[in-house]
Amino acid sequence: MGEVVQFNPREQVFILKFTAPHPLKMRKNGTERISVELHKVDEEHGLGQAWVPASNKRMAQEKLCAMIEVLEFQDWCK
């Protein structure tokens, strides 16, 4: 029999827009390649945008949720 070659899916960068609580709780161990930008809306909420490398949008959302607390993802993002 021949060798089995495993192909890993290619990652692309997804831009996710979301709402987050204020103050923001972050869990980061240093291996993430995620960039986050946050803007305070009021005393309880903030709007954010994150650039997350992943193989699909759902995986990108899961990676972001593992790093920070997200209240809701905005549907109007790509």
Segments making up each domain of the chain, as ranges: 12-73
What are the tens digits of pLDDT across the range 14-72? 999 999 998 888 887 777 889 999 998 898 999 999 999 999 999 999 999 999 999 99
> Which tokens sit at 44?
């309880």
pLDDT over 50 at 77, yes or no: no
User: Is-contact 15 51, C-beta < 8 A?
Assistant: yes
User: Is-contact 27 64, C-beta < 8 A?
Assistant: no
Give the confidence band of 78 by pLDDT, cuts at 50, 70, 90: very low
pLDDT over 70 at 11, yes or no: yes
Largest CA distance in the chain: 64
Q: Write down the pLDDT at residue 9.
A: 78
Eight-class DSSP state of 23: S
